Amino acid sequence: MLHPSTISFLKNLAKNNHKDWFEKNRKLYEAAKADYLSFVTIVLHEMKQIDTSLEALEPKQCVFRINRDVRFSKNKEPYKNNMGAHFSMGGKKILTAGYYFHCQPGESFIGGGVWMPMAPELKKIRQEIDYNYSEFNSIIATAKFKKYFNGLDQSAILSRPPKGYEEDNEAINYLKLKSFTAIAPIADEDLTNKNLVKKVITHFEAMKPLINFLNRSLVE
């Protein structure tokens, strides 16, 4: 589980997202950072027993920096109001499908997949789905996947079929997607519950067949 002080830090940061406050509370940040890394270390250890593609991954390769890149953003807040961790065979810097944990009071979730891939990777994923739709659909339709995730996220989707595909394609609802992710929200009280790691691992395990399918299109 995560320590309550980590959650408190993120709540206070959301209300005081500026450098002066952050520097005055840097010790609290360092403690929260260490707590989150400890949690990520445990999750990664458990996941390596389930997904061997993660064997070479180190905990520090999974976590994201709290500083925001504000150069091209209208939102000039210097820090993220969350702590995220991405578990994938390529780490954070290589585009492969992976598992994701997002800690943000009121907006936490367990998820994974591939978020907004670039055109070449998007083309590969769509082709894999088109060629192997029955397999892909069976993954999304399994009782285990449906128990933990409400299908794939539909927030980024084309209004018309992508180039090279027709509207009557049986996989068209998935081929129109621009991201291939699934998420499950987590209540704040779950973040500090002793069963948090178990909850995360159970969700990730249910997602593994989808991760395997997506990575087959990207790395094979």
Instruction: Read off the pTM.
Output: 0.94
Cβ–Cβ < 8 Å for 6, 37: no
At residue 73, the pLDDT reads: 83
Question: What is the C-alpha separation between 79 and 58, in angstroms, rounded?
Answer: 24
In 3D, which of 73, 78, 7 has the Cα closest to residue 39? 7
At residue 74, the pLDDT reads: 85
Question: What is the C-alpha separation between 65 and 93, in angstroms, rounded?
Answer: 13
pLDDT tens sequence for the chain (220 residues) = 999 999 999 999 999 999 999 999 999 999 999 999 999 999 999 999 999 999 999 999 999 999 998 888 888 999 999 999 999 997 777 789 999 999 999 999 999 999 999 999 999 999 999 999 999 999 999 999 999 999 999 999 999 999 999 999 999 999 999 999 999 999 999 999 999 999 999 999 999 999 999 999 998 7
At residue 46, the pLDDT reads: 98
At residue 70, the pLDDT reads: 83
Question: What is the C-alpha separation between 90 and 62, in angstroms, rounded?
Answer: 10
Question: What is the C-alpha separation between 129 and 8, in angstroms, rounded?
Answer: 42
Q: What is the span of the domain harbouring residue 79? A: 4-219
Overall domain count for the chain? 1
At residue 94, the pLDDT reads: 76
At residue 219, the pLDDT reads: 86
In 3D, which of 126, 133, 135 has the Cα closest to residue 162? 126
At residue 90, the pLDDT reads: 76
